[in-house]
Chains A and B, each alone.
Chain A
Amino acid sequence: MPALLEVDDLVVDYLTPTGRVRAVDHVSFSIEPGEIIGLAGESGCGKSTTAHAILRILRPPAQISGGRVLFKGRDLVQMDERQLREYRWNHISIVFQSAMNSLNPVLSVGDQFVDMIRAHVHSSKSDARERAMNLLQLVGIDRTRIRSFPHELSGGMRQRVVIAMALALQPEIVVMDEPTTALDVVVQREILQQIEELQQEFKFAVLFITHDLSLLVEFSDRIGVMYAGELVEFAPASRLFREPKHPYTVGLMNSFPPLAGERLTIQGIGGAPPNLANPPSGCRFHPRCSHCTPSNPALYALQTRVKPELQLVGENHTVACHLYGDGRER
Chain B
Amino acid sequence: MRYLVRKLGFYLSALWIAITLNFIIPRLMPGNPADTLFASFQGRMSPQQLVALKASLGFTSGNVAQQYVTYLWNIAHLNLGLSYSHFPVPVSTVIADDLPWTLLLVGLSVVISAVLGTLLGIIAAWTHGSKFDSLLPPILLFLLSFPAFWISLFFVYIFGLNLHWFPTAHAYAIDQNISLNWTFIGSVLYHAFLPASVVVIITLGGWVLGMRNNMISTLAEDFITMAQAKGLSEKRVMLMYAARNAILPQVTSFALTLAFIVSGQVLVESVFSYPGVGYDLVQAATLNDYPLLQGLLLIIVVAVLIANFVTDLIYVRLDPRVRQEA
Contacts and interface: CB of A to CB of B under 8 A. Distances in A.
Interface residues of A, number: 34
How many chain B residues sit at the interface, stated as a range, is 20 to 34
A115 B227 CA distance: 10
A57 interface: yes
Interface string B119-160: 000000000010000000000000000000000000000000
Contacts of A199: none
Nearest to A104: B223
A60 B222 CA distance: 15
Interface in A43-102: 52, 55, 57, 59-60, 81, 84-90, 93-94, 96, 98, 101-102
A152 B324 contact: yes
B46 interface: no
Interface string A103-128: 11111100000011001100000000
B233 interface: yes
Interface string B302-326: 0000000000000000111100100
A52 B222 CA distance: 12
Contacts of B221: 101
A171 B222 CA distance: 21
B240 A120 contact: no
A106 B319 contact: yes
Nearest to A148: B320
A59 B227 CA distance: 13
Interface string B213-233: 000000001110111111111
A219 interface: no
Contacts of A90: 231
Contacts of B234: 81
Contacts of B231: 84-90, 116, 119-120
A305 interface: no
A119 B230 contact: yes
A316 B229 CA distance: 32
Nearest to A85: B231
Contacts of B244: 104, 106-107
A85 B324 CA distance: 35
Contacts of B228: 57, 88
Given A104-B240, A115-B236, A88 B229 contact: yes
A119 B233 contact: yes
Given A89-B230, A89-B231, A120-B231, A102 B321 contact: no
B227 A104 contact: yes
B319 to A, nearest CB: 6
B245 interface: yes
Interface in B233-292: 233-234, 236, 240-241, 244-245
Contact of A96 (B226, B232, B321): B226
A191 B228 CA distance: 24
A322 to B, nearest CB: 38
B223 A102 contact: yes
A29 interface: no
Given A115-B236, A152-B324, A104 B241 contact: yes
A104 B245 contact: yes
A119 B232 contact: yes
A105 B320 CA distance: 8
Task: Give me the 5 closest cross-chain CB pairs, A-B, nearest first.
Answer: A88-B231, A101-B222, A149-B320, A116-B230, A102-B226
Interface of A: 52, 55, 57, 59-60, 81, 84-90, 93-94, 96, 98, 101-108, 115-116, 119-120, 149, 151-152, 162, 165
Given A105-B320, A115-B240, 8 more contacts: A55-B229, A57-B225, A85-B231, A90-B231, A103-B226, A115-B230, A119-B230, A151-B320
26 contacts: A60-B129, A81-B234, A85-B232, A85-B233, A88-B228, A88-B230, A89-B229, A90-B231, A96-B226, A98-B222, A102-B223, A103-B226, A104-B241, A105-B245, A105-B320, A106-B244, A106-B319, A107-B241, A115-B240, A116-B231, A119-B230, A119-B232, A119-B233, A119-B236, A149-B320, A149-B321
